[in-house]
Amino acid sequence: MSNRIAADIGLLFIAVVWGSTFGVMKTAVADVDPMLFLFVRFTAATMGLLPVYAVSAVRRRRLGATDRPGLAESFKPGIALGLIFAAGFIAQVEGLRLTSATASGFITGMNVILVAVVHSLLIRSLPPIRVRIGILLATAGLLTIAVQKGLSFAPGDIITFVCAVFFGLHIVATDRYARSVDPVAVVLVQAVLIALITLALSVLRGSIADINRIPSTALLAAIYCGILATSVALVIQTAAQRIASSIETAMIYSLEPVFAALFAFLFFGENPGARTLVGGLMILAGILAVNLSPSRHAVPTESYSRTP
């Protein structure tokens, strides 16, 4: 098997895992306070990332690459990124309580569209026609999913869109720091910060008292999301994106909402309905249009990560 094929398989595995987390999280937050779930999830992520960072640090010392950025250089960027990411994950799990995993997957995927919008605002120019078409398609898809009878908006879908906004901002911010931080260290800082924020929110809500009574399914869901979708995904992603092209990466990661819908249907009994499926396909078409744009408005490859 060639390195290119192995890299593509690795990226596809990540897209499958990330897609599966929507149904997993929705099921979990039906039984557990979302903030308590996130606290357990990111505590597990921290535990999984610590040995990864330790191995990375030892390897860096052995290679004599002591001039590369480490934990100290990644701390402040990690705090800034972690605050944005925390807001995104909080909105995501709160939205999942009120909408389907399928809708959440497609709407969350709009973060790539929002990145193109932010880039256009930053450089003060209109994006290329392909990107504009993608933005229009995704917006139409969002409205198809979220607008209910009487032209009212579904609250869960709107909250999830807020999540997509924060995830989009996180991608833009990550691109700013990507070359000046250690990737493992900066993710570790974010995981610790999100765990602390959600711990504080769990205390304020009083749900921290239920930590010893978390159902086993919800506990396993948090560990699954924390370890596999964060720690393991980061290791695979770091290796795979050194080999795979930006187009391959964009195409494969664009399948995440498709896997979210597939897992929700096959394993969680969701029947999303024609409106959600049509809207989701429109969003997916918009994501592909933006991801495959050859312009500078396309999302940089190193920023595709949705880890932790």
- The 10s digit of each residue's pLDDT in 6-32 is 888 999 999 999 999 999 999 999 999
The pLDDT > 70 percentage for the chain reads 91
CA distances to 72, 107, 155, 269 from 136, rounded to whole Å, are 42, 14, 22, 31
Q: Looking at per-residue confidence, does 129 or 303 come out higher? A: 129
The residue-averaged pLDDT of 126-136 equals 87
pLDDT at 282: 93
Distance CA 301, CA 25 (A): 27
Distance between start and end Cα atoms, the chain:
29
pLDDT at 87: 98
Distance CA 26, CA 7 (A): 30
Contact in structure between 53 and 71 (CB atoms under 8 Å): yes
Q: Looking at per-residue confidence, does 4 or 203 come out higher? A: 203
Task: With cut-offs at 50, 70 and 90, classify the pLDDT of residue 193.
Answer: very high
Show the CA angle centred on residue 195, arms to residues 44 and 59, nearest 5°: 60
Q: Which residues pair with 153 in a beta bridge?
A: 147
Name the least confident of 56-65, 109-118, 262-271: 56-65
Task: With cut-offs at 50, 70 and 90, classify the pLDDT of residue 100.
Answer: very high
pLDDT at 62: 79
pLDDT at 295: 54
Contact in structure between 279 and 141 (CB atoms under 8 Å): yes
Residue-averaged pLDDT of the chain? 87
Q: Looking at per-residue confidence, does 241 or 214 come out higher? A: 214
Task: With cut-offs at 50, 70 and 90, classify the pLDDT of residue 3.
Answer: confident
The pLDDT > 90 percentage for the chain reads 54
Residue 68 has pLDDT above 70, yes or no: no
Q: Looking at per-residue confidence, does 184 or 296 come out higher? A: 184
CA distances to 61, 129, 209, 224 from 11, rounded to whole Å, are 28, 28, 38, 18
Q: Where are the domains of the chain?
A: 3-303
The residue-averaged pLDDT of 32-48 equals 97
The residue-averaged pLDDT of 48-64 equals 85
Show the CA angle centred on residue 232, arms to residues 227 and 236, nearest 5°: 165
Structure tokens belonging to residue 196: 């602390």
Task: With cut-offs at 50, 70 and 90, classify the pLDDT of residue 301.
Answer: very low
pTM beyond 0.75: the answer is yes
Distance CA 288, CA 226 (A): 28
Helix, strand or coil, per DSSP, at residue 190: helix
Contact in structure between 288 and 143 (CB atoms under 8 Å): no
